[in-house]
Amino acid sequence: MTTAEPCDLPEIAFLRSCEAEGAYTDCFAVDVDGVVTQAAFVEAFYTTRLFKTERFLIRWLARKPSADLEAKALSEGKAKTFAAWRVEAQSADQLLMADLTGRTKSWLMVSQNGIAPGKTRLYFGSAVIPRRIAPTGGREFGVGFRALLGFHKLYSRMLLNAAAARATRVTRGSGAARG
């Protein structure tokens, strides 16, 4: 696997908790050369050029600014919020973030299990919690969700590929590589 591809959520994924809520979940993975730590992956993910575009939009639309130093603090477990998200769960190999409404979640994980020695599998997944319909108490996804799902999947793969490239450059010692 050299580019991000859809895959099943690992059994241990924090994102599995969202499935029980009837959420839409997805998972993408890419294998990279070298040992990439969770901290390096999280920092790389939130500091790629592509994600900085999203950060700009969040700052402008939601008035939730963020900086690379805050991404670093998040990656090190020293921050519980970042831009429009809050940490819901964090371990040595996983991070689950929820947006401020709690309706969307992002998940990152690294693993060296079950792949070739000297490689790391990087995972990125999302969850969208369907809105509750008052009269029935059931849940459903809106028209906007269905309309944007194809773009979301493409964007998720692009984000993961950009983060993988950045994390491997930084891991190999090229410092703050552009990504």
In the chain, domain spans: 5-171
Fold topology of 5-171: Alpha-D-Glucose-1,6-Bisphosphate; Chain A, domain 4 (3.30.530)
pLDDT of the residue at 77: 95
pLDDT of the residue at 102: 86
pLDDT of the residue at 59: 86
- Tokens found for residue 174: 């090229």
Question: Are the C-beta atoms of residues 91 and 110 closer than 8 Å to each other?
Answer: no
Question: Are the C-beta atoms of residues 106 and 18 closer than 8 Å to each other?
Answer: no
Averaged over successive runs of 10 residues, the pLDDT of the chain (179 residues) comes to: 89 92 93 95 96 89 89 96 94 96 94 90 95 67 83 95 92 53
Q: How far is CA 51 from CA 42, 47, 63, 70, 173, in A?
A: 12, 6, 16, 14, 22
pLDDT of the residue at 177: 44
